[in-house]
A and B are shown apart, each in its own frame.
Chain A
């Protein structure tokens, strides 16, 4: 089946620094990618929707200047957490929707990235 890969799987950074997380669709073109955040014992909360070649659409309450999203190609989207703080520590998960041919309308998730800000 379709595969979505995230990197890094775990990252620890110092408070005030920036961290970039990559999301790649490995065997299909992802016209749309989604970024979620999940705190322990809570559900996935959508942060933003990114479309290849255009600006991301952020959910209410998500700071677009803090969570920079770039979807420069049909197989890669990146999330950069800028000026990270301990409260940004969370599990960040991307998902990708395939184009109509290969993967239909199914949305596939990456493996997730654990961010710890110390």
Chain B
């Protein structure tokens, strides 16, 4: 079982709709969770970080964490064509060597 799993997509969402990206992780001691956006040929860019159960909102982005279910998601409201990218879920084990483990990413396409 992969440590961090994501649906590779592609996920197509109409412009203006809500895009929902999901991620599951296998290590229960995971403490920090991140969503990165990566445009083709570019480096990942941090979108959201979340550490506690529940929702965290930042502008059009909402991260949701459920540690009991080992599940973290990212919602993008009012999707824009510029949101088209690959979204990487990453998990950090604070009590380990603090390295990030990445999922394989979900490719999101916003259809105008």
Which secondary structure dominates chain A's binding surface?
strand
On chain B, the residues within 8 Å of A57 by CB distance are: 97
Interface residues of B (CB under 8 A from A): 32, 34, 36, 41-46, 49, 88, 92, 94, 97-105
Is A73's CB within 8 Å of the partner chain B?
Answer: no
Q: A44-B88, A105-B32, A109-B43 are in contact. Are A95 and B100 (CB under 8 A)?
A: yes
Neighbour of B99 across the interface among A6, A49, A108, CB < 8 A: A49
Query: Which residue in chain B gives the minimum CB-CB distance to A95?
Result: B100
> Does the CB pair B49–A106 fall under 8 Å?
yes
The smallest C-beta distance from A88 to any residue of chain B, in angstroms, reads: 18
Which B residue's beta carbon lies closest to that of A2?
B46
Q: How far is the CB of B16 from chain A (nearest CB, A)?
A: 28
Cβ contact within 8 Å between A34 and B43: no
Q: Which residues of A contact B42 (CB under 8 A)?
A: 111-112
Task: Please measure, in the bound complex, the distance between the C-alpha atom of A44 and the C-alpha atom of B104, giving whole angstroms.
Answer: 8
Whether B100 lies near A46 (C-beta < 8 A) is yes
Interface residues on A, range: 20 to 34
| Shortest distance between the CB of B88 and any CB in chain A (Å) | 7
Query: Which A residues contact B (CB, under 8 angstroms)?
Result: 6, 32, 34, 42-44, 46, 49, 57, 91, 93, 95, 97, 105-112, 114
**Which of B49, B94, B103 has a CB less than 8 Å from the CB of A43?**
B103
- Asked if residues A42 and B104 are in contact (CB atoms below 8 Å), the reply is yes
Please tell me if the beta carbons of B44 and A93 are within 8 angstroms of each other in the complex: yes
In the bound complex, do residue B97 and residue A112 qualify as a contact, i.e. CB atoms below 8 Å apart?
Answer: no
Bound: A57/B105 CA distance, A: 25
Apart from A32-B98, A107-B46, A109-B43: 15 A-B pairs, beta carbons within 8 A:
A34-B99, A42-B104, A43-B88, A43-B104, A44-B44, A44-B88, A91-B41, A93-B43, A93-B44, A105-B92, A107-B100, A108-B46, A111-B43, A112-B42, A114-B41
